[in-house]
């Protein structure tokens, strides 16, 4: 299985598109796993000097922001690459649920025929099936949230040490001003926020997974976002 450190990833490819001093420093120090303090100290000092903590607290996911700061863009690409597998797995779960709903709605029985069906057949009306379908989505939503919560420790463990150390130092700087960080670490907070932003942006979902979402799927993903943000204590 390909890892971020071993082979070129989406992050590397994106960073190569437009080289700059900050991007170059980021890319070099990002891979200095034997000296994570260097990356952490350099970019924490940079964040402090430029007063960028607010941007770190709410990292955007869209690639269309022309004014996006370079260091924030680099962090966004790294974290987006890290959660890609989680996003793909949840989209697969949602797609499975949508197929079940489609099967429920393929055929409908006219009232006149339904009334003539013997009770011994135990026929279940379409309306009852829809209710069961709704319950099924609730289970799928719970499963999706469970996927995020259960996979995050592995995602964090696989992140390069420089990134983890940077967020550790940054959290110490930010925790007094952002009360929500008392419920989740800054790194966990950002990973979940990025997952939510991806789900809110259909274009990014399609780019990462190749799946096109219908309105129903988008509404379900919105509900999953609400659940995740509620767990973090974020006010929506």
pTM summary value: 0.73
Q: What angle do CA 172, 38, 184 make, to 5 degrees?
A: 30
For the chain, give every domain's residue range.
Answer: 10-232
Instruction: Output the pLDDT for position 87.
Output: 93
Instruction: Output the pLDDT for position 42.
Output: 94
Q: In this structure, what token pair is assigned to residue 129? A: 């099936």
Q: What is the mean pLDDT of each run of 10 residues along the chain (236 residues)?
A: 49 55 89 91 92 82 63 92 93 71 51 59 57 63 88 94 94 74 80 90 81 80 85 64
């Amino acid at each position: 299985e390909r890892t971020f450190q071993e082979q070129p990833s989406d992050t590397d490819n994106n960073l190569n598109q437009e080289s700059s001093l900050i991007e170059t420093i980021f890319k070099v120090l990002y891979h200095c796993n034997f000296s994570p303090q260097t990356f952490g100290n350099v970019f924490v000092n940079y964040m402090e000097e430029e007063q960028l903590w607010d941007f770190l607290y709410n990292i955007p996911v869209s690639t269309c922001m022309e004014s996006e700061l370079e260091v924030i863009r680099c962090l966004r690409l790294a974290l987006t690459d890290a959660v890609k597998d989680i996003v793909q797995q949840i989209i697969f779960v949602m797609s499975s649920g949508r197929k079940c709903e489609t099967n429920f709605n393929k055929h409908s029985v006219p009232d006149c025929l339904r009334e003539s069906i013997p009770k011994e057949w135990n026929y279940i009306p379409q309306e009852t099936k829809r209710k069961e379908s709704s319950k099924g989505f609730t289970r799928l939503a719970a499963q999706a949230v469970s996927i995020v919560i259960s996979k995050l420790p592995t995602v964090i463990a696989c992140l390069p040490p420089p990134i983890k150390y940077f967020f550790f130092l940054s959290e110490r700087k930010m925790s007094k001003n952002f009360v929500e960080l008392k419920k989740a670490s800054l790194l966990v907070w950002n990973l979940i926020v990025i997952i939510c932003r991806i789900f809110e942006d259909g274009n990014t979902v399609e780019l990462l997974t190749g799946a096109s979402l219908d309105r129903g799927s988008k509404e379900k993903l919105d509900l999953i976002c609400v659940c995740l943000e509620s767990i973090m204590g974020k006010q929506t």
